[in-house]
Amino acid sequence: MPIKRTLGYATRTAAVMALRGQGLSTAAIAEWIGIEPKTVAALEASAARSKARARLPAEEQGRLVPFPIDVLNQLRRPAEKRRIHPNQLAQLIIEAVIDGNLVDAVLDDAGADYAPMRRGRVS
């Protein structure tokens, strides 16, 4: 039985919907996931039918982290080099930082308070 690629998402449908939300075309989504364009369309139709569904456990438990499109765009080339999606690369980077206890080293901010700031640089 072949393994279904989901790019780090729980399902192919979730991957399709996330990629569509990033503005990718049907052909691009099909290529990223390794499925036929008609399968992309079928997964989207299925998602539309179940729009009123209960939220996924990952959504309820706060496991999904949306990344701004500019961040994903900056990760696109390094992700392509690894043959993965930018979302998956972002997840791998975060996991490596956490596993290596490197948050302070990566941010190099002496524990600055980011609450009043928007994403970006420390003032």
Single-letter amino acid code for the residue at 85:
H
State how far the alpha carbon of 8 is from the alpha carbons of 34, 94, 111, in Å: 14, 13, 30
What does pLDDT average to over the chain? 80
Q: Is 118 helix (H, G, I), strand (E, B) or coil?
A: coil
- The alpha carbon of 118 is separated from its chain's Cα centroid by a whole number of angstroms, namely 21
Tens of pLDDT, residues 13-44: 888 988 988 888 999 999 988 899 999 999 99
- Tell me the whole-structure pTM to 2 decimals: 0.43
Tens of pLDDT, residues 68-96: 889 989 999 998 888 888 888 888 898 88
